[in-house]
Each structure stands twice: as structure tokens, then as C-alpha cells.
Amino acid sequence: MPDFKSIKDLGEYFNNHILTDVMEDEVAEMVKEEEANAIDELVYDAYTPNSDSSAERRGSYGGLKDTRNMIHTVTNTMGEIELLVRNITEGNEDVDYTEGTSPPNYLTGIIVYGRPTQAGLYINGNAHAYTKPRDFLSETMNEIQRTLKHVDAIKKGLKRNGINTD
């Protein structure tokens, strides 16, 4: 570890190297895991597809809850570190209602905001349950804030970097 001439230099080093690294690793992975959990609860558990449906759920294997489809960027602007996680899952090409889900219109938008039927209304019942909004993004953020899992992830990352917080 380098020597520091001031507390300001130490703080800049901490933000630019250690905390940015922790956000890239532990915090990003925790957010992706929480998003996958929210997808299970709000998207996949919301309804069971009809047996005659052409929609085969891809789940963790190329689908919405596959963390490999969740990309993240960490930015450090003037000492403020921001983590952005985007789910870039494209629609299932075998399903007609997912047209237009290639970049930049990913499947996330269809699921989070819903898709109105041709009449412009959401229809009740299992046959059209997939058209209703299921905001797993807000649920992910709410769960992280409620449980303070981001604090645990930061502590874990700091420990990996040789900084004990207990």
C-alpha cells in the first residue's frame, strides 16, 4: 500500500482503488443475485405458462434470471461511486409477443412495464398473465435497502482487500 501525505489522498486512494473494486466484485454480484431472486418471485412465480404455450422459460440458462445477462458498470465521478446493473436478456425468438426486444429494447422493459393487449387493457386470467407489469427492478432495490445486504457485501469486499470492519 502506498504512503499518503494527507487524509484527502488516503480518501481518494480508497475511493479510486478499494471501494471501486468492492463495487465491481462483491456489491455487483450481490445485486445480481437479488435481482435473480426478485425475478423468481415476481416473474416466474406469477403464473404457470399454459402447456400449449410456445414460451419455454429459460430461467438461469439464458433467460431473465441468468446473471450472465446482467451486466454492470461502476463509475467514479468526483468521489461518488455508482453501480449500474442492466439486464440485457433478449426476448425468446419463439414467442411472438417479444418482437422488438433486441438492443436497446430488452425483455426487462416488457416484464417491468407490462405489455397491453390489442385492446389496450390488461386482461385478467392466466392466459394473459404475462402481459401484466411485474416490476422486479424496484423489488430488487427495495429488498437490498430493507435487508442492508449492500453493507454486508461492502464489508466482505473490504475484508478481501485487507480492511477489517468488525
Query: Using one digit for the tens of pLDDT, what is the confidence trace for 85-109?
Result: 999 988 766 655 555 555 555 788 8
* Low-confidence residues in the chain, pLDDT < 50: 119-125, 127
The model's pTM? 0.82
Domain layout of the chain by residue ranges: 7-160
For 66-101, b/e burial (b = at least 16 CB within 10 A) is: bbebbebebeeeeeebebebebebebbeebeebeeb
